[in-house]
Amino acid sequence: MSAPDLAPAPADLTALTVGDEIHGQFGPITRTQLVRYAGAGGDFNPIHHDEEFAKSAGMPGVFSMGLFHGGVAGGWLAAWLGLEHVTALKLRFTGQVWPGDVLSLHARVDDIEEHADGRLIICSLLVERQNGDVALKGEVRAR
């Protein structure tokens, strides 16, 4: 796995400040990873594993299910903020991800709300392909 990898140092939620960022990276994505995710997640839309079907749909070939790279990003955010603290996750799939792609993950603390029962941390997520195309935009909340 290329550095920076997918193992962020766990955050101390009481010490985070607006503007804090982490970055990760993974790839190149393989068809085997897509098939493995299909089996784990249960997404058997053939457009993600059957080249002939993907071409019949006008695509150059198979491409990643958003929930594969989105799931990787979600796990990475949970490893940073602490799974037990994550209260919401939103993933918006803005572009396709292809076998061979190397993805960069960027998370940033956008806002912190102070509540009587603790702080609510609101972070944005951006996933980019090696050419700068934005494949995913998201948000995660933790408290």
Q: Which residues bind another protein (CB under 8 A)?
A: 1, 5-7, 26, 33, 36-37, 39-43, 45-47, 56-58, 65-68, 70-72, 74-79, 82-84, 86-93
CB 65 within 8 A of CB 135: no
| Cβ atoms within 10 Å, residue 63 | 19
Q: Which is nearer to another protein, 17 or 120 (CB)?
A: 120
| Cα 21 from Cα 100, distance rounded (Å) | 26
Closest contact distance (angstroms) between CB of 16 and another protein is 18
Give the pair of three-digit tokens for residue 18: 């607006």
Q: Which is nearer to another protein, 83 or 134 (CB)?
A: 83
| Shortest Å, Cβ 74 to another protein | 4
Nearer to another protein, 86 or 122 (CB): 86
14 versus 19: smaller Cβ distance to another protein: 14
Pick the closest to residue 131 from 102, 92, 95 (CA basis). 102
Shortest distance, CB of residue 79 to another protein, whole angstroms? 5
CA distances from 73 to 6, 20, 66 (A): 9, 17, 10
Please count the helices (runs of H) and the strands (runs of E) in the chain: 3, 5
Minimum CB separation of residue 71 from another protein in Å reads: 4
